[in-house]
Amino acid sequence: MMKKLSAIILTAILAASMTACQSGDVQSDSSASSQTQSTASSEKTESNTASETSAKTVSNGAVNADELFTSRDTEQSADLSDAVTHTLSDGKDISITAAGVYVIKGSAEDVTVTVDADGQDKVQIVLDGATITNTDAPAIYVKSADKVFVTTTNSQNTLSVTGSFSADGETNTDAVIFSKDDLVLNGEGTLNISSTQNGVTSKDDVKITGGTYSITSTADGIEANDAVAISGGSITVKSDKDGVHAENSDDDSKGSFYMGGGSLTVTAADDGIHAVTVAQFDGGECTVSAAEGIEATYIQINDGKITIEAADDGINAANKSSAYSVKAEFNGGETTITMGQGDTDAVDSNGDLIINDGTITINAQSPFDYDGTVEKNGGTIIVNGEETDEITNQFGGMGGMGGGSGGMRDRGGMGGQAPMQDNGMSF
Nearest to 185 by CA among 105, 106, 262: 262
* Residue 196 near residue 164, CB atoms below 8 Å: yes
Task: Give the chain's radius of gyration (CA, Å).
Answer: 24
The pLDDT score that the predictor gives to residue 59 is 53
Give the pLDDT score at 395: 61
Distance CA 258, CA 296 (A): 11
Nearest to 220 by CA among 271, 292, 275, 281: 271
> Which residue ranges of the chain lie beneath pLDDT 70?
1-59, 395-427
Residue 337 pairs in a beta bridge with 308, 362
This prediction's pTM? 0.82
- Asked if 124 contacts 152 with a C-beta cutoff of 8 angstroms, the reply is no
pLDDT digits (tens, 9 = 90+) for 197-213: 999 999 999 999 999 99
Give the start-to-end residue ranges of the domains of the chain.
348-422
